[in-house]
A and B are shown apart, each in its own frame.
Chain A
Amino acid sequence: MATIDAGAATGRIVIYRHSLLVRLSHWVNVFCMTVLLFSGLQIFNAHPALYWGQYGADNDPSFISMEAVEDGDKAKGLTRVGSLTFDTTGFLGLSEVDGEASARGFPDWLTIPSYQDLATGRRWHFFFAWLFVINGFIYLAYGLFSRHLRRDILPAGSELAPAHIGHEIVNHARLRFPKGAEARHYNTLQKLTYAAVIFLLLPLMILTGLTMSPGFNAVAPWLLDVFGGRQSARTIHFLTAFSLTAFVVVHVAMVILSGVFNNLRSMITGYYAIEQEDRQ
């Protein structure tokens, strides 16, 4: 990382933190994952129930489902997770479309397109899935070649010491972010989280997605064995999407809490300012 010395007097230096390719692939990824999530929820809405195993349809036991049911002269939206049932009227199972209560898994403000249209949802999903995969491969190739992954993402052995991680968790919880030399690289929690997203969650999304394809099943039948069947793969696809969404929420929260302007600038221009250590 190149350093631009803004002068020790200000107590602040600016470093070049993110290469052009990392910045580009980050924003392409943001766009792809946004479209993939919302078009994915459109696809989910065509059959808002999840199963485990090779098969699963209306007459088979599901372990997550959303449905609209009659409740006197009104309708309710119910979400079932295992043996628990939640009243999610207005959000899941039943929500308003143009002022009228409609039976749908996720509400119209979370789907592409907003109205029920599986065919279009699929077109968007698969187009952006391709873009996402190509972008991901470019990032990985660059990351290996430039040593970005080794240098910036994978934690060093010493960083994985329980005491070190414990110390970071405490600092994180207190919203005390690193300064000086420590701010030049990702801390261990960041590294572990990004590594989990890059090497676990995103590949899991792609592989479970492919396992739902009858054509790809013929190419790689072993994927059915890995995930325990097409319906299991569909369920894992959904849960992993949920995990990624949770990651994004925390990620954005941390971006805001640790200096939204500085963080955004670094992911747009590459330049990131770090505070010098307090010299008390």
Chain B
Amino acid sequence: MSRIITRRRFLIGATMTASALGLSGCDAIVESDRTKSVLKIAEGFSMKTQRFLLGDDALAREFTEADLSPVFRANGTSMPDNPQYLDWMNRQFSTWKLEVGGLVDKPMQLSLAELKALPARTQITRHDCVEGWSAIGKWTGVPLGALLKAVGLKPEARYIVFHCADEYEKTLDGSGWYYESIDLVDAFHPQTILAHTMNGRDLEIAHGAPLRLRVERQLGYKQAKYLTRIEAVADLGRLYGGGGGFWEDRGYEWYAGI
């Protein structure tokens, strides 16, 4: 999501250019913590309403081959630059493994070959960036629910966290690594898959090779790329910024169904 400018980045930029931060009256209201906490009510309201109307298993629209975007825009990181990832990449991800752990009974490590050997689901769905654009792609991957059943979630597990191999914002404290999280309703949704194949080919680097999440009833920033580790947790507060995702830590909604 290279073109999203967070408030934090804006502030950093503004300070760096030494421009006077003369916030207008309106912006002062916008910046107030009380305003922010009041506005947050809307997110819970939207999520509860949509979940109430959706039930757990309503499906996202699936399209046909004829509807595929001619060019599927890649967004966010298009080439992770950390040495570990480059090493995996140079070995065609043969040494890469997906770790599944946290609050599970039988933690697992799966190679890409093992993942590709598992029963897969293929779906042609629309990817909606929070910025406003959409692209339609064909995804093939392992239903997350099946994998979670295989490892066995402990009863206290409430969220599934996706750790990624791209450090999207370089920070000294390591808070800039991309990550995402969903709750169990979305984790066990039939269209929630770990995609290793896009449009009939191995997932490209720009689209998150070797594995990315597809959670089709939410916006693009939930579709974490470059997955390395899946962790079942009881709460999200202790991870990174506590918001449950890279963009969530930067002000975006955790529930990205709207």
A225 CA to B36 CA in the complex, in Å? 36
Of all chain A residues, the one with the shortest Cβ separation from B136 is A55
Q: A148: which B residues are within 8 A, CB to CB?
A: none
- Contact A123 B42, CB 8 Å, known A217-B60, A218-B54, A218-B61: yes
A119 lies within 8 A of B252 (CB): yes
**Residue from B41, B126, B253 in contact with A122 in the complex, judged by beta carbons closer than 8 Å:** B253
A54 lies within 8 A of B63 (CB): yes
Bin chain B's interface residue count.
35 or more
* CB proximity of A111 to chain B, nearest CB, Å: 10
- Per the 8 Å Cβ criterion, residues 34-65 of B in contact with A are 36, 38-43, 45-46, 50, 53-54, 58-61, 63
- Contact A122 B130, CB 8 Å, known A57-B69, A219-B50: yes
Stretch at the interface among B85-93, B98-106, B211-219: B211-219
A114 CA to B24 CA in the complex, in Å? 8
**Residue from B43, B70, B131, B258 in contact with A118 in the complex, judged by beta carbons closer than 8 Å:** B131
Q: Could you mark each residue 1-31 of chain B with 1 if its beta carbon is under 8 Å from any beta carbon of chain A, else 0?
A: 0011111001000100001101010110011
Q: A58: which B residues are within 8 A, CB to CB?
A: 71, 73, 133
**Residue from B59, B135, B217, B250 in contact with A57 in the complex, judged by beta carbons closer than 8 Å:** B135
Of all chain B residues, the one with the shortest Cβ separation from A49 is B133
A124 CA to B22 CA in the complex, in Å? 21
A259 CB within 8 Å of chain B: no
* CB proximity of A222 to chain B, nearest CB, Å: 10
A214 lies within 8 A of B67 (CB): no
- Contact A219 B36, CB 8 Å, known A46-B131, A55-B67, A113-B26: no
A3 CB within 8 Å of chain B: no
A261 CA to B218 CA in the complex, in Å? 49
B129 CB within 8 Å of chain A: yes
**Residue from B6, B7, B132 in contact with A44 in the complex, judged by beta carbons closer than 8 Å:** B132
What is the predominant secondary structure among interface residues of chain B facing chain A?
Answer: loop
- Per the 8 Å Cβ criterion, residues 83-142 of A in contact with B are 98, 100, 112-120, 122-124, 126-127, 129-130
A218 lies within 8 A of B67 (CB): no
Contacts between the two chains (Cβ within 8 Å), count: 157
* CB proximity of A31 to chain B, nearest CB, Å: 13
- Contact A46 B3, CB 8 Å, known A216-B50, A219-B53: yes
A55 lies within 8 A of B134 (CB): yes
- Per the 8 Å Cβ criterion, residues 49-63 of A in contact with B are 49, 51, 54-60
**Residue from A44, A57, A117 in contact with B73 in the complex, judged by beta carbons closer than 8 Å:** A57
A127 lies within 8 A of B136 (CB): no
Of all chain B residues, the one with the shortest Cβ separation from A216 is B50
A234 CA to B126 CA in the complex, in Å? 14
**Residue from A55, A127, A129, A217 in contact with B69 in the complex, judged by beta carbons closer than 8 Å:** A55
Of all chain B residues, the one with the shortest Cβ separation from A113 is B30
A221 CB within 8 Å of chain B: yes
* CB proximity of A125 to chain B, nearest CB, Å: 9
- Contact A218 B26, CB 8 Å, known A54-B136, A234-B132: no
* CB proximity of B133 to chain A, nearest CB, Å: 4
Greatest chain B CB density within 10 A among A100, A114, A126, A221 is at A126
A76 CB within 8 Å of chain B: no
The 4 A-B residue pairs whose C-beta atoms are closest, nearest first, are A215-B257, A119-B251, A59-B71, A57-B133
Binding site for A on B (CB under 8 A): 3-7, 10, 14, 19-20, 22, 24, 26-27, 30-31, 36, 38-43, 45-46, 50, 53-54, 58-61, 63, 67, 69-73, 126, 128-136, 216-219, 247, 250-253, 256-258
